A and B are shown apart, each in its own frame.
With several copies, the nearest count.
Chain A
Amino acid sequence: MAELFSRIGAETPIKARLKVSDLSISRGGTPLFAGLSTSVSNGDILWIQGDNGIGKTTLLGALAGLNRAETGTVEWSADNQPCEARDICAYQPHKSYAKPSLTAHEDLTFWAKLHGTLSLTHHALEKVSLGPKANVRTQHLSAGQKRRLALAKLIISQKPIWIMDEPAAALDSDGTALIDELVQAHIARGGAAIIASHSGARVLSSATRTLTLRATT
C-alpha cells in the first residue's frame, strides 16, 4: 500500500480545504437544497446520505467544480491559498468513464500521464484486482470491473480530496472491502473523502461527519 500514496505521504501533505458557504442549487424550477454550508479538510470523511433524487449527485458535482453554484460559493484552497477544484479534487462519478475501445491498461495509462503519475499504473491496476484484465478492452469489462477501474483512476490522480458518488454500487463484497481499505489509507496519509452512498459500507462508520439531505415536508 505504501508505495501508492508515497507522493502524498513523502512530501508534507498539502493542506487541502473545501469550503461550502450558503450553497443552493435548483433543478427544474425548485431548489434541491438551500443555504448549505460545510467544509472538508485533511483527515475528514464526509458521508452524504439521502433518498433517491434528493440531490446528492448534484451536490457532489458542485463540490467538484462541475456544476456552478446558483447562490452561495464553493471555495477550494491548497496550503491556505485559494485554488481551483482541479488542483485538489478527484471525482469518481456514478457512471464509469472508460473509453470502450481502449484496454484497461491503456485507459489508465492515459490518465496517469495527464496526472504525471505513470509509475503508479501497474500498482493501481493490481490493487483493484484488474491485473488479469489489463489487456481487455473496457467495453468488455463487467459492471463491477468498470467501477474498479474508476477506483484505480482515483488512486493515480494523487489528489488530496476524493469525491465519490455511490462507489459501492455493483461491487461484490471484496470490492466494498477494497473501498474501505483505499479510503482508510488515503485518510491516513492526510487525504480527505466525500462519499455519497446508500449502503453504509464499513468505512462510513468511521466517517467524521455525515450530511443528510432530508425531504422537507
Chain B
Amino acid sequence: MINYLANPVRFLKFSKIATPIFGWLSLAAFIWGLYLALIKSPPAIEHGQAVRMMYVHVPAAWCAQMAYTALAIASLVSFIWRHPLADSAARSFALPGTAFTFLALVTGSLWGKPAWGTWWQWDGRMTSVLILLFIYLGYLAIWNIIPERKRAARLASILAMVGFINIPIIKFSVDWWNTLHQPASISSPGAPGFPPEILWPLAIMVLAYTFLFGWLSLRGIEADVVRSRIARANTKPAATAIIETL
C-alpha cells in the first residue's frame, strides 16, 4: 500500500478519492458526536456541565500525540529513503498536530478553571503537552527558516526522530515530577473507566478528530506535491554547456 502510494502521481489519484471521504466522514462524526456529547449525555457528578469539555479535550490530546507519532514515522522514512512524498507527509502532519496540541492546552485550561479553580497548573501531564507544543514549534520553525526544501526536510526529520525518543523521557520525568491531572482512566487496563453514556460520545469524537486529522494531512500533502510540481515545471535551462577539447 505504502509502496504503491509512494509515487506522487498515484498518490494524487488516491487522494482525489480519499480526501473527500475523510472530510465527509469527519463532518458526520462531528455532528453525531457533538449531538451525543452536548445534548444526550448526562453531566458528571463532580464536574457538572463542564464535563462536556472533555469531549473536545481528550480527543485533541490524543490526536496531538498520534500526529507526532505519524510525523516521526514519516520522518524516518524520509530520512532513510529520501522520499519526497514522505517529506510532504511529515510536513503536513505537523500543522494539524500543532493545532491539536494547542487545542488540548486551550480546552484543558478552559476546563481547569471550573475544575481546579485555575487556568493552569504546573502539573506533569500539562507540562509535557506544553513541551510537545515546543517540539512542534521547533519542527515547524526549521521548515520555515531553511529555504532549500531538501535540506529543510532532512534537518527537520532528524529533529523529529530525536524528538520522538525524547517523548517517553519527557513523559516519564514530568509525570514523575508533579502529578495532579486525571490519571489515564481509559487507556490503562483495569482502570475504573467511564460509564458507557460518556464513553460512546467520546469514542465518536475521537473518530471525528482522527478523520479531521486525515483530511487535513491529505490536503496538506496534495498542496505540497502540487507546489513542488510547479517548481519543477519550468524546465528550460538558463545556460547550455559547450565543451571543447583543445
- A residues at B contact (CB < 8 Å): 24, 26, 29-36, 38, 50, 54-55, 68, 207-216
* Contact status A212-B241, CB under 8 Å: yes
What are the residues of chain A within 8 A of B231 when measuring CB–CB? 29
B246 at the interface (CB under 8 A from A): yes
* Contact status B239-A213, CB under 8 Å: yes
* Contact status B237-A31, CB under 8 Å: yes
17 A-B pairs with C-beta separation under 8 A = A29-B231, A29-B234, A30-B236, A30-B238, A31-B236, A32-B239, A33-B241, A38-B243, A54-B238, A210-B244, A211-B242, A212-B241, A212-B244, A214-B240, A216-B236, A216-B239, A216-B240
What are the residues of chain A within 8 A of B246 when measuring CB–CB? 207-210
B150 at the interface (CB under 8 A from A): yes
Closest to B245 in A: A209
Starting from the known contacts A35-B237, A54-B238, A215-B238, 19 additional A-B residue pairs (CB-CB under 8 Å) come to A24-B237, A29-B231, A30-B236, A31-B236, A31-B237, A32-B237, A33-B239, A34-B237, A38-B241, A54-B239, A55-B238, A208-B246, A209-B246, A210-B244, A213-B240, A214-B242, A215-B239, A216-B238, A216-B239
What are the residues of chain B within 8 A of A215 when measuring CB–CB? 238-239
Identify which of residues 129-154 in chain B touch chain A, using a CB-to-CB cut-off of 8 Å: 150
What are the residues of chain A within 8 A of B239 when measuring CB–CB? 32-33, 50, 54-55, 213-216
Q: How many B residues touch A, CB cutoff 8 Å? A: 15
C-alpha spacing A50/B231, complex, angstroms: 25
B235 at the interface (CB under 8 A from A): yes
C-alpha spacing A124/B118, complex, angstroms: 62
Knowing A30-B234, A30-B237, A50-B239 touch, does A208 contact B245 (C-beta < 8 A)?
yes
Which of B150, B237, B238, B240 makes the CB contact (< 8 A) with A68? B150
| Min CB–CB distance B79 → chain A (angstroms) | 15
Which of A33, A36, A208, A209 makes the CB contact (< 8 A) with B238? A33
Closest to A59 in B: B241
